[in-house]
Amino acid sequence: MKHSHTPDGRPLVLSAPFVLGFLIAMIIPPISMFVFSKIHGYNISEAGAYGELVRFLNIRLLSASVIVNVGLFFLALRFDKELFSRGVLYGTVSIFVIILFYKYAM
């Protein structure tokens, strides 16, 4: 399997724009979920009788907050920041994997 490289020959995952895009894409959904929960006044780690409802809301909020990542991805493509947009894309896919794990495995 051939790995992608940057124009200067470095592996893609070691380039600063890729790593920055990946980290931003991984951080935005949990932060937006936290802010939303504080604004609307519910505990994102509620246990007991409300645990399932909170888990359902957390999954919905994480899924909806990925829209910010999609906007960031297209904005980066618009300004020809391909490595940054790839990082955002990989981070968004990672968030979707985490959401699926949270939804079905827990």
On whether residue 33 sits in a domain, the answer given is no
pLDDT tier at 50 (50, 70, 90 boundaries)? low
Angle between helices 82-104 and 16-40 (to 10 degrees): 50
What pLDDT is stored for residue 47 in this prediction? 62
Residue 51 is assigned to a structural domain of this protein: yes
Length of the chain: 106
Q: What pTM was computed for the model?
A: 0.76
Which value, in Å, is the radius of gyration of the alpha carbons in the chain? 16
In this prediction, residue 71 has a pLDDT band, given cuts at 50, 70 and 90, of very high
The whole-angstrom distance between residue 104's C-alpha and the CA centroid of its chain comes to: 18
Number of domains the chain contains: 1
Q: What is the domain range of residue 84?
A: 43-106
Residue 27 included in any domain = no
Q: Does any domain span residue 89?
A: yes
Tell me, yes or no, whether 65 lies in a domain.
yes
Please tell me which residue, 4 or 96, carries the higher pLDDT value. 96
Percent of the chain with pLDDT over 90: 27
